[in-house]
Amino acid sequence: MLSITQSSEKVVHAGGMQNTDSEDREQAALVDYPRPPEPSSKKEPEVKQPIDKTAVQPSPSTKPSIKPASTAGTETAKPRASSKPSSTKKPEQKEKKLVAFTFDDGPDSRYTAAILDILKEKGVKATFFVVGQQVEKEPEMLKRIVDEGHAVGNHTMNHKQLPKLTDKQMKQEIDGADKLIENVIGYKPTMVRAPYGAVSDALKTYMKNENRLLVGWNVDTRDWAGTSVADMRSMIKEKTKPGAIILMHSFGGKNIKHTVEMLPGAIDDLIKMGYTFVTADQLASYEEAE
Ligand code: NI
C-alpha cells in the first residue's frame, strides 16, 4: 500500500473554536470534538524532526512526501503488485506539475457547499477528509462531494488524537467513520487522514495491514487559525511545489470563510503557474508510476 507521509511542519490544527458571535454559534455548536491548543508560532517551521526509522519521512519541499509504505525505512522493498513495471515510466507525468487540494473536517452545509460551488466553477477536483460526526449530520453534502467528482477520505469518527487512544479505540474511530461514509456513498474510502496529523506506529501498522492510504500534507494554509486571505494566497503560491498536498478546511468555525474567499484566486494562481489539480490518491498513483 501507499502512504502519504506527514509533513515535517507543525501539524496541529483547528484550535480556534471559541467563537462567540452569533454567526458562529451554530458552527461552534456543531464542532464538539476536542481541539488541541494552537501551536505557539506561525513562523516557518523548518525544525528537523528526529528521525523515526519506522516513519516515512517527508522529503524536501521540492519532492512530494509520498512513498509506498512498503518502502518505509528501506529503499529495497519491492513495488506493489499493482505498480506499473518501470519500463512503462512516463516522463511526461514526472514533468507534470500536479497539486492536490484537501479540505478537512466537513461536510457541513455552509462552507463545504461554498467550496464545492467554487471547485465546480473552476473545474477543479479536490479531496475531502470527512469526519463521521459531520457525515451523520450532513449526508447529502457528502453525496454531493462524490457526485461532483471529488475524492473522499476518512478523517475519523470524532476527530480525536489517535495516538492517545487504545488500539481498540483507534480502530473504532476509523471503522466507525468508514461505516457512515459507506452508508452514504456506497464504498469505504481508501484514504485516511489522522486528525492533527497525529500518527502513531499502531496507526501506521493498521493502515498498512488494511491497505489504506495514510495522507498527510506539505503545505498548511492554517486557515482555521484566521490566516488572512492575502497571506494564505501568497503562501500557497510560494510554497507549492510539484506533488504538493495543500491542507485546508471545509468546516471548523468562522475563519473558514477566508478559505472560501481565498480559493478562486489560489486556483487561478496555480493554474497560471502550470499546475494541474488532482485528488490525493491520484497524486499517489502518479508517484507510483514514476
Ligand atoms: Ni481535522
- d(CA 259, ligand 1 centre) in Å: 15
Residue of 248, 243, 270, 253 lying closest to 4 (CA atoms): 243
Catalytic residue (one of 13, 150, 249, 258): 249
How much of the chain is in helix, strand and coil states, percent to nearest 5?
40, 15, 45
Question: What is the CA angle 45-46-47, rounded to 5?
Answer: 90
Residues whose CB is under 5 A from ligand 1 (ion)?
Answer: 104-105, 195
The count of C-alpha atoms lying within 13 angstroms of the C-alpha of 23, restricted to the half-sphere facing its C-beta, is 8
- d(CA 158, ligand 1 centre) in Å: 10
CA dihedral 100, 105, 111, 115 (to 10 degrees): 10
Predicted local distance difference test score (pLDDT) of residue 231 = 98
- d(CA 251, ligand 1 centre) in Å: 9
Predicted local distance difference test score (pLDDT) of residue 289 = 56
Which phi and psi (to 5°) does residue 136 adopt?
-60, -40
Residues 6+ apart with CB under 8 A from 31: 17, 105, 251, 252, 253
Predicted local distance difference test score (pLDDT) of residue 47 = 38
- d(CA 289, ligand 1 centre) in Å: 29
- d(CA 160, ligand 1 centre) in Å: 9
Question: What is the CA angle 248-198-104, rounded to 5?
Answer: 20
Predicted local distance difference test score (pLDDT) of residue 287 = 62
The count of C-alpha atoms lying within 13 angstroms of the C-alpha of 137, restricted to the half-sphere facing its C-beta, is 20
Determine the Cα–Cα distance for residues 72 and 146; give it in Å rounded to an integer: 31
CB contact at 8 A, 126 and 102: yes
258 is catalytic: no
- d(CA 159, ligand 1 centre) in Å: 6
Predicted local distance difference test score (pLDDT) of residue 284 = 81
220 is catalytic: no
**Per-residue pLDDT in tens (0 to 9) along the chain, 290 residues:** 444 544 443 333 443 333 333 334 334 333 444 444 444 444 444 433 333 333 333 433 444 444 444 433 333 344 444 444 444 445 454 568 999 999 999 999 999 999 999 999 999 999 999 999 999 999 999 999 999 999 999 999 999 999 999 999 999 999 999 999 999 999 999 999 999 999 999 999 999 999 999 999 999 999 999 999 999 999 999 999 999 999 999 999 999 999 999 999 999 999 999 999 999 999 987 765 54
- d(CA 155, ligand 1 centre) in Å: 7
Determine the Cα–Cα distance for residues 272 and 1; give it in Å rounded to an integer: 33
Predicted local distance difference test score (pLDDT) of residue 129 = 98
Catalytic residue (one of 104, 178, 223, 281): 104
CB contact at 8 A, 120 and 147: no
Predicted local distance difference test score (pLDDT) of residue 94 = 55
Query: CB atoms < 10 A from the CB of 260, how many?
Result: 20
Record the pTM: 0.72
